C-alpha cells in the first residue's frame, strides 16, 4: 500500500485543475489517470483526498440476501471505516443499472468527514446527494437499489474506476471537469509541478487575452520566459505589500 500523503500536499493538489494534473503526470510518464465519463453531480464541486476503495462484483442470489447486516455487509463496514479527509471510490464496473449508494449513506460519510465520493456507476437519490455538501461524482443516476445489480465484495484493495487504476491512499482529485488519480508515491512532485504550471499558464493566458499570438507564447520562447520570471517577481512583491 502507498504511504500516507501529508495534508499540505493534498491542499496543494486542490489548486491546479485536473487538466493541469493530467499534463504534469503525462510529463512524468503516467498517462491513464483521468476517469472516463465520471462527472460531478453539480457545478462548483472540488475535492482532494486519499482513496478509500470499495469494489463491487455482479450480484448473484447466493452471494447475499435482501436483508442487510450492517456488521457483515462489506459496503456498510466501509461506510463506518472511512476516515476524515478520505475519498470513497466505488468500482461499479461502469455498470449504471442500479445505484451504488444513496443519500443516507452519503450523509453518513459526510458526517464522518469524508472529502468526497466517486463511482463509475450511478447514485440513487442523486438530487439529494448533490445538496448534502459532499463532492460527489458519478456516471449516471439510477433509482434502483444497489443489490439488484451489485454485490459489495472488498474494501481497501486496488480497484478500477472509470477505466483508471486506484490503489488505496492514491490521491483522488476532482473539479468541475471530472476526477483524476495521483499515485501517492509521486503526489508531492506532481503537486509542486502542477502549481508551478498553473501559475505559468495564468501568465500565458494574460498574454493571449491581451492580443498576443500563440507563436512564441504557447509554448513560450526565451523572451516570454524572461517576461514570466519578471511577472512572478512583481506578483510576489504585490502580495508582500498586501
For 192-213, what is each residue's pLDDT tens digit? 999 999 999 999 999 999 999 9
Quote the CA–CA distance of 174 and 18 in Å, as a whole number. 7
Go through the domains of the chain in sequence order and give each one's CATH number: 7-183 (3.50.30.40), 190-241 (no CATH)
Stretch 210-217: mean pLDDT, rounded? Answer: 95
Q: Is the pLDDT of residue 69 over 90?
A: no
Number of H helices and number of E strands within the chain?
A: 7, 12
> Considering only CA atoms, which of 240, 29, 50, 68 is closest in space to residue 151?
68
Stretch 118-131: mean pLDDT, rounded? Answer: 97
> Considering only CA atoms, which of 32, 37, 176, 30 is closest in space to residue 93?
37
Phi-psi region of 210 (alpha: psi -120 to 50; beta: other; left: phi over 0): alpha
The pLDDT, as a whole number, for residue 231 is 92
Backbone angles phi, psi at 99, to 5 degrees: -70, 150
Q: Is the pLDDT of residue 3 over 70?
A: no
For 141-165, what is each residue's pLDDT tens digit? 999 999 999 999 999 999 999 999 9
Quote the CA–CA distance of 154 and 92 in Å, as a whole number. 12
Global pTM reads 0.94
Q: How confident is the model at residue 238 (pLDDT cuts 50, 70, 90)?
A: confident
**Peptide bond between residue 219 and the one before it cis (omega within 30 degrees of 0):** yes
The CA-CA-CA angle for residues 149, 154, 159, to 5°, reads: 85
Stretch 42-47: mean pLDDT, rounded? Answer: 96
Q: Is the pLDDT of residue 66 over 90?
A: no
- Collapsed DSSP state (helix, strand, coil) of residue 133: coil
- Collapsed DSSP state (helix, strand, coil) of residue 122: strand
Phi-psi region of 156 (alpha: psi -120 to 50; beta: other; left: phi over 0): left
Amino acid at each position: 500500500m502507498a504511504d500516507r500523503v501529508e495534508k499540505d500536499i493534498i491542499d496543494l493538489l486542490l489548486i491546479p485543475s485536473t487538466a493541469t494534473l493530467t499534463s504534469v503526470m503525462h510529463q512524468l510518464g503516467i498517462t491513464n489517470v483521468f476517469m472516463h465519463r465520471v462527472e460531478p453531480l453539480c457545478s462548483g464541486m472540488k475535492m482532494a483526498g486519499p482513496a478509500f476503495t470499495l469494489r463491487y462484483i455482479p450480484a448473484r442470489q447466493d452471494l447475499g440476501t435482501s436483508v442487510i447486516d450492517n456488521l457483515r455487509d462489506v459496503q456498510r463496514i466501509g461506510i463506518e471505516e472511512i476516515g476524515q479527509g478520505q475519498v470513497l471510490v466505488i468500482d461499479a464496473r461502469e455498470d449504471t443499472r442500479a445505484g451504488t449508494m444513496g443519500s443516507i449513506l452519503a450523509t453518513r460519510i459526510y458526517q464522518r468527514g469524508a472529502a468526497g465520493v466517486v463511482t463509475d456507476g450511478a447514485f440513487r437519490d442523486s438530487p439529494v446527494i448533490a445538496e448534502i455538501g459532499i463532492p460527489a461524482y458519478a456516471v449516471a443516476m439510477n433509482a434502483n437499489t444497489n443489490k439488484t445489480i451489485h454485490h459489495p465484495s472488498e474494501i481497501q484493495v486496488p480497484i478500477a474506476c472509470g477505466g483508471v487504476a486506484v490503489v488505496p491512499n492514491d490521491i483522488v482529485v476532482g473539479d468541475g471537469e471530472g476526477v483524476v488519480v495521483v499515485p501517492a508515491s509521486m503526489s508531492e512532485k506532481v503537486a509542486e509541478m502542477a502549481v508551478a504550471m498553473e501559475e505559468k499558464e495564468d501568465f500565458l493566458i494574460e498574454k493571449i487575452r491581451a492580443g498576443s499570438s500563440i507563436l512564441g507564447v504557447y509554448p513560450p520562447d526565451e523572451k516570454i520566459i524572461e517576461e514570466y520570471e519578471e511577472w512572478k517577481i512583481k506578483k510576489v512583491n504585490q502580495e508582500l505589500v498586501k
